[in-house]
Amino acid sequence: RRPLRVRSIGGDRARPPGAHHAPVMVASAWDFWRSIGSPRHVCAPMVDQSEAAFRVLTRSLGVQLAYTPMLHARLMVEAPAYRAHTFDPEPDGVDRPLVAQLAGHDASVLLAAGRLVQSHVDAVDINFGCPQGIARKGRYGAFLLDEPELAVSLVRALAEGLDVPVTAKVRLLPSVDASVALCRRMQEAGASALCVHGRTKEQNKHRSGPADWAAIARIVEALDIPVIANGGIATADDVAECLARTGAAAVMSSEALLENPALFCANVDPDSGAYLDQPELARRYLRVCRQLPPPTLGHVRSHLFKLLHAPLRHQPLLREDLLEATSLDDVEPVVERLAACSHHQPAFHTPRFDAAASWYWRHRTAAVSADGELGETRGAGGASSPESRSRAELEAAALERRDRRRREKKRRRRQRGAASVAAAPAVAVL
């Protein structure tokens, strides 16, 4: 880690109010970071995916800091049912350190939501990273980066109003210089750490492109608080390379971690040294679900569709069984039957690695380098993809998947309707 540089933030520029406290804030930021163990491996906030069961699983496999799913601040304040459904801190301390991520644009609402969660977490994070259309509509996430004054004011309001450290997760702006300047302003506003995703909000879905680790390195060098690097993390080798190239305090993984929760330990059990394949990871996730039930069985299915992507592709009847399962008791036998098809596996971190069998790699495409040669891309991650598909092919595949999901939903709805009719008691006609 870079040595702590306690200096006045902002150099010779005119200091904003309170800037004379900057050296104290920087030292406090690193005190916070050390208090949570100086983590290097971080599980990202993921809507309906980074629930307590998944977080606890990843912690047993190398994750040292985890985030809750993104929590909509207004709903957290106004809807107790939403709060109970989405905010799920584990009560016995196994799921710590933990950061609660909030999304919103109203400082008073964010502050109220932060006060609801602060006693259960180690820090509160503001989402400036979500690039989805729903974030544009809701005026949160990466779209607030287009309103820098508002974004900075939100960091300041929470840093001054909460009892726990405040962090922020951001994406790059089109200009690296502008990104550096905004991150420095967030530091000045009181952020104790920043997570920087090395892509802009326009780099989303099939247009993701490579994560810009050089830009993250620029931000790390410009700031005095811990920076978490995000984007381009698909393997354990990517973790080491990203830390070396960016100088970040830690590395965060999201989608790749969903398919391979053992990413940070290179699929080697930290206790036994045994190799962890996809069926074993699925079994371990289900065991944690027994102790920490996810909000719905849909959360469980979603994880299993990623963990067991390859065998599910080759076993459509078992996929149907998984879709129709109504409890963990129904799910577990399906997983065991899928484990018997374990020859269909990506085999992460082995010489037998098969990208074609991987959910994460399914859309990672080769890119043409500046000199016209076919080069590697770090599409959503740091490792190269063996596939090469045109944008038109990718869009057609996405439309086909959407149509297939719609057909499956209609079919299941018809089945449930038929089952309810069959189960209904006969009505006597007098």
Residues annotated catalytic, as ranges: 130
Q: How many CB atoms lie within 10 A of CB 378?
A: 24
Q: For residues 162 and 238, what is the distance between their CA atoms, to the nearest angstrom?
A: 35
- Report whether 224 contacts 183 (CB < 8 A): no
Q: Find tokens 């779209």 and name the residue.
A: 143
Q: For residues 242 and 223, what is the distance between their CA atoms, to the nearest angstrom?
A: 17
Residue-by-residue DSSP string for 119-134: GGSSEEEEEE---SHH
Sign of CA pseudo-dihedral 352, 357, 361, 364: positive
Task: Tell how many helices (H) and how many strands (E) occur in the chain.
Answer: 17, 11
- Report whether 100 contacts 126 (CB < 8 A): no
Sign of CA pseudo-dihedral 197, 262, 389, 352: positive
Residue 340 DSSP class: T
Report which residue type is found at 418: A
- Report whether 95 contacts 136 (CB < 8 A): no
- Report whether 63 contacts 250 (CB < 8 A): no
- Report whether 157 contacts 190 (CB < 8 A): no
Residue 389 DSSP class: -
Token pair belonging to 96: 């710590």
